Amino acid sequence: YCRFLLLRSAASFTRRSFCTGGALRQDKAGRAPDMSDLILLLFSVRNRLREIVGASTNWSHHQQAMADRASLSSMLATSQNDLPAKRMKDSYLEVHLPLGSEPQLREKYLTYHNTVRTNEYNSSSSFSSVLISYSHTYNPEVKRSPLSIVTALVDKIDMRQHVIYPDSDIKFTGHVTWVGKSSIEAKMHMSQYRDGAYVSVLDATFVMVARDPGNKRAAFVNPLKPEGPEEEKLFQEGEANKSRRVELSTASLLKVAPTDEERKVVHSIFLNTLDTNTVSFRSRVLPPNSVWMEDAKLKGLEICHPQERNIFNRIFGGFLMRKAYELGWANACSYGGCRPSLVAVDDILFQKPVDIGSLLMLSSQVCYTQGKYIQVRVHSEVFDPLTCQHSTTNIFHFTFASDRDVPNIIPKTYGESMLYLDGKRHFDQTVES
């Protein structure tokens, strides 16, 4: 695995060796070193998570290690009131990817255009958000965490810079910003060192959920105590994010009819595609500079091997994000006729875990366009060849930008019209934020 430099405050290292694998030594006066004495620790975030959970790095031993976690159930809190409140700085994490100082790492992250692969640092952010959540729930009296913390939702990933340089160090920082009874919101920021300073590149918001050792039922997490107006503002934003997610869920086009304005949009598209010569509801004509939605699809298949498993013996969510992004990017690339750049990733809901050995079927669809922007929806499902059943696992929404205006995407059926409106909603939300 790629090596990471994890950098945290010296006081935090001394207080919480859990996050580093070792504590800093104090000086002769018994004081912790200051920030100028920080030590860079090389290790894999993924392996550190395995240590926290007690998972094995060996596939042949991994299943037994997971079965042994059942004995940790007695360590779970019976109420959130039984857990001490934590501060935001208790979960603060800083991870350095030394692309500038260690050239041998660059090849893993390079594209053939000599830029950094977006899917790789999305995976790094996903790993880090899990470690942040375990930092928030850390109990110094417990050797192994009884919690199974998994990613429930990638609420938002916003790109601040479209070009990521392959020869400059990258820094990930993040911490918990909101907590429910069993859910945790963690914000991640990515920046890159350019011209003597770190420049913001990416902002991401993850929603994690805590489960029991067997990952079967919800478990309580430590409450969060904001300190100061800035932290209070972040906490209130987390509350607002939760309310927004509930509102969007209840307004889903799978549950309720489109709004009056949306119905007018669909009818306008229908009228603009009627054949004026026949004046028939069945005769449809594609307008100039347009593409039928049915002709803007791309599909892929992945066999899920043990190499891509997470610490709980399921397929790692970052792997699913990477494959969905690659398929969505390829679809946007072929649709726009040029290499697109990622603008945002929105509302990735992990509906069902993916087991090792699964046949993962990915279907991407250009569902909305506006000017140079391309909205792509990727549907992920598991196919069981024995029962011939399909089960949805994830829905991904990507917003890409081309270097020129792209053709208009045109729905033909009612189902495609709903995909069009759903894509428009996600695009509008991206533009507004």
The CATH number covering residue 220 comes to 3.10.129.10
Q: Are residues 70 and 136 in the same domain?
A: yes
- Of 249, 281, 306, the last residue of a domain is 249
Percentage of the chain lying above the pLDDT 90 cut: 43
99 and 225 fall within a common domain: yes
**Other CB atoms within 10 Å distance of the CB of residue 337:** 12
Residues 367, 288 share a domain: yes
pTM over 0.85: no
Q: Indicate if 301 and 242 belong to the same structural domain.
A: no
Residue-wise pLDDT for 357-392, tens only, equals: 889 999 999 999 999 999 999 999 998 888 888 899
For range 386-401, the mean pLDDT: 90
Per-residue pLDDT of 24-64, as tens digits, reads 233 333 333 332 222 233 345 666 776 777 666 666 666 66
H-only helix segments in 56-181: 59-68, 106-109, 118-136
In terms of domains, do 78 and 124 share one? yes
Mark whether 214 and 264 lie in a shared domain: no
The residue out of 191, 225, 249 marking a domain boundary is: 249
Q: Is residue 188 domain-shared with residue 57, that is, in the same domain?
A: yes
Q: Which of 205, 228, 249 is the last residue of a domain?
A: 249
> How many structural domains does the chain have?
2
Q: Is the pLDDT of residue 14 over 60?
A: no
Residue 287 and residue 169 in one domain: no
52 and 91 inside one domain: yes
Write down the pLDDT at residue 398.
94
Confidence grade of residue 95 (pLDDT, cut at 50, 70, 90): confident
- Non-local (6+) Cβ contacts of 158 within 8 A are 202, 203, 204, 343, 344, 430, 433
Per-residue confidence band for 105, with pLDDT thresholds at 50, 70 and 90: confident
Choose among 364, 305, 312: nearest CA to 333.
364
Please check whether residues 225 and 283 belong to one and the same domain.
no
Domain of 49?
4-249
Task: Check whether residue 262 and residue 284 sit in a common domain.
Answer: yes
**Is the pLDDT at 9 greater than 50, yes or no?**
no
**Within this chain, do residues 50 and 175 fall inside the same structural domain, yes or no?**
yes
